[in-house]
Structures are given as structure tokens and as C-alpha cells.
Chains A and B, each alone.
Chain A
Amino acid sequence: MLNRIRAHPNATGLAALAVALALVPLGIQNNYILTILIFIAEFTMLTIGLSLLMGYAGQISLGQATFLGLGAYTTAILSTHLNIPPWLALVSGIGLAAGLAYLIGMLIFRLRGHYLAMATLGMNIIFFLVLTQEVEWTGGPSGFHWGVPDLSLGPLVLSTDVHYYYLFWFFALLVIALSLNIVNSRVGRAMRALHTSEVAAETIGINTNAYKRKVFALSAAYGALAGGLHATYLGFISPSSFGIGISIELVVMAVAGGLASVWGAIFGAAIIILIDQYVGNLIEIVIPQASGEYEIIAFGLILMLIMIFMPEGLFTGMVNRWRKWKDSRASVGGEI
């Protein structure tokens, strides 16, 4: 009974979001706005993966862009150098990322806190070096210039922004639905238990390391899916999109959204991308010389301020405060 009540708002929310998103391209034909919405979908998938890992399982990753890049480059390399159909290439990328994450997880999830943070950062740096060094396969620092082929659905070759908009959001909604299901299942409760106290979780029979590895593999699969779509959408990829800067940006998104919230992840991805796009331009109007410098400072400050004043995250924090405010109004009303 309780389960049904809890599942209900999620299903309604998901349906409402799907309908709203489906209507957007009917009203908006502007390619710039569609591109931004596509990036929000891409980063939503990534941020949800990171939220599951950080918020629910309590494990930090500073290397999540590795899996985005792994998905993108696997899709690109398989579909060009080896002539494998793009969809198959994309699925291979997801499989490879998930498998690799599971294997790496066997090694790194014996670690905690700082060690884990550094190990995942190291993973990203090694991956980045491979991208820049293996020029024959990746095109090196200047990027993958062989042209990643478009995906197609039967006879329809996906080539316009509107096509990709629907494709990205279809998968993003799939990721959201799947993640909501996981979070509200036995697995989700086990994950929350191991975040609260690993020792307690172990004593009630939860294999904590196995859960961490699985969540890590799942978040890697989400990342590789986003990466594969990214590669086919843009047709060109370069290592700079998969460096630790992007990994940190993902942490900013997950933190801004509130770590233990699937809905928050969408909010976090959206708000950081909008800040990225618009505040940068705005600052340039106010201070003409400034360009990318302020962005780094802004991200750093956002991270610090949220962690100091709202450790539960911007989205979750606001929701909680709103609930408290509503409760206090209700109790005042009751007294009268």
C-alpha cells in the first residue's frame, strides 16, 4: 500500500515530464535551444549515475567522464575504423564501460574517501592520456576526425537536431525511470543502508562491495550511453570533452541537484548547463575582458557554498525547506 502511494507521484511526474518534453520541439524551432536541451539530457543521464553512486551508495567518483569518453570513443572507433553498425557500436561501448567499471570496482572499492577520490581521478587521467597518445585510433589531441556516422531508425537516418532531441530524451527518460525503480526497490534500500553505515549494512547481510561495484558499473553504463549518443550527434569528438574538468563539472551537477535524488539530478544538470551557457555570456557583457576564467571560479564557489551551507544539495535543500514551511503553516492553521 505504502509502496503504491510512493510510486504514484513518480509515475505521474515522469509522464508529465515526457509529455512536456515531447511538445517542446513543436513550439521551439531554434537549434541553439534544442542543442542546450540535448546537452541537458546527456548530462542528466551522467548525473543520475553519479547521484546513485555518490548519494545513494556514498562513494565518490572524480572520474565519471572516463565512461562518457569510453562510450563516445568506442562508438566512434567501432563504427568508422571497423565498420560496425552504429547502434551495435553504441551497445558495445555501454557493455565495455560497464564491464570495465565492474573490474576496476573490484580494485578500488576496497578504498574509501580520499583514496577512492584520487583513484577515480587517476583513472580519468590515464584514460585521457590514452586518448591523446593513441593517435592512430583516436586522432590524438586534435580529435577524432573520421566522422562518426549518424544513427538510424529503420529507414530514417537521424540527422537533425529535432531527431536527436527526441532520441536523447527518450534515453534520458528511460534512465530516469530505471533509476527511480532501482532506488525504490530492495536494492535501493540496501544502497541507502550502506551509505548510512557500512558496518551495519554488512551485519544485516548486505554484500557492500558487490553493491558498490554494481552501482559503479550501472553509472558507467549510463555514462557510456550518453557518450555514444554524444559521438553520433556531434560526429566529431575530442579528448577535451572527457577530461577531469568534465568529471568535476559532473560532481558539481550532482551536488547542486542534491546527491540522493534522481529528480535532483535533472535539476542539477539543467541548472549548471544553463549557468555555463548564459552566465558566461552575461559576465562578458558586464566585464568585457572576462571569458572562461569566471566559469571555473563560479563552479568552485558553487561547490564550496553548497557543501558548507546546504550539504544535502540545492534541489533537496529547497524541497526540504519548502516542506518545512508548508508544515509550519499547516500547524499554525491548526492552532487557529
Chain B
Amino acid sequence: MSQPAADIQYTQDEMMTVTAARQLADGAVCFVGIGLPSAACNLARELHAPNLVLIYESGTVGTKPRVLPLSIGDGELAETAEVVIPLPEIFTHYLQAGRVDLGFLGAAQIDRFGNLNSTVIGAYDDPKVRLPGAGGAPEIATHANSVLVIMRMSPKSFVSELGFRTSSGFLGGRGERAARGYPGRGPQAVITDFGVLRPHPDSDELVLTDIYPGVDPAAAVAACGWPLQVAAQLQLLAPPTATELAQLRALNERTRVAHATPVKIHLASNSSNAV
């Protein structure tokens, strides 16, 4: 990009994705979900973390997709993986056995202790909104050494009390998770469209610790459904660099083109191996 850094325009999604990517250390073994987490992980892999080991729950280990998958099991993930294994082994031999450094989660709702709801809004047996459900999240939240959450903040999504807990964060806070002997440390950062929340070391309550350029902390407080605490030493996050934006936009453009390519199937079967 030819523009000077100060003039670069970027979207909230781009700021969130770049912020998430910057959290990922080279060499980490990362359990990836689709959407923004997948974009962040692959952006990090193209920039500062070429040795990031990406595991998708479909069974693809050490995958290096050139375009982002729409689903958790696109062929691109299998073609560029070090190994493709049956799904039960992902959850037993890799996740439950403690081989995952970092899990990436989103949800419909989060509470002040990082517990997540991706199951229902309203009563379970008579829901107002039926959400997709648990998937891999409960075990990722339990077993990954640390968890990153990425969610847009609003009073409906950042709630003082969850109607349904799908995945455990710090439970009731004040060390309850650690006392219950959970193998993983729980959510270490929640990346929002205002900035980053991190757990307070004593209470486990999520606190606004980092803020994006040009964002008023009061706006973040107003968007949160519980009385959000703001850290005394609020860190100002750097805007995306020209390099980060160029890589992310190229990745998204390659993805858009790939997903729009029409599929054609040759129905005339022959008797030779087609692969």
C-alpha cells in the first residue's frame, strides 16, 4: 500500500482480526473455529507466526489453507494438512490429552466470568431462538491451555447472567475454575469491536484492558450488559499496519473468488481410479 500509515482506513472486522492475529505466538498449537478465528490464525501464519500449528476439529492437523474455508471441513483444509485423522482422535488424543495450547471460541453470549452460551436464547424446552449448539466448544473451553474469545460487544451478547451455559469459563469467578481442577486456564483474552477484555487476576472478572484507536472507553462500558470495569492502565492498541491489511485483504479476496467458483460434476462414470 502506498498510503502513509496514519491515513489507512480499516473496518472494525479488520481491526478485530488483526488484534486476534497478534495474540498468536509462533509455534503454538492452535484449535481453530471458522469465521474470524480462522482468518486471524491464517493471517498470523502468513505474517509473524509461520510455524503456527492449526488444528480444525474436522480432523485436519497442521493445515495451511491458501483460502479460508467456509465450513470447518472444506477440502482445502485436507489438501494442505500435515495429516488428516478421524474426528474422535482430535478430541481424545489431541485435545483431551492436553496437546492444544490455544483454543479459539465465539458464542452468542458471554458473561462477566467468560462462560459462553451457544445453545439457546430463552427456555431450553421452549426456546425463543434455537442456536446451533455446543459442537467442540465445551471440551475446547475445558482442555485448551488457554482460550481466546472473539465476539462483537452489545448488551444482548455481553450479559450479566447467561440463560444457558454451553461452555465453561471461570464459572462463578474468584478461582472456582482452578479449584475445580480444570486442565486449561480458561479465557485469557476476549477480543471485541471496542478493544480487549482480560480476566482480573483475583476475581476472574473480565476487565477492559486494551482499547482500539479512536474508541472512547465509555462507549465500551455502554455496550456491555454488566458494569464493565476499565483497567487503570488502559493500553492503546496500534491500528493495523499496511502489511497486515494488505495480507488480510488478499486472503479475503482469494477466499471470495474461491467460494464463488461454480461446481461441475462429471456424471459419466468410468472404471479407472479418478484420483
Please indicate whether A and B come from the same complex rather than being unrelated chains: no
Q: Which residues of B come within 8 Å of A, CB atoms?
A: none
Q: Which residues of A come within 8 Å of B, CB atoms?
A: none
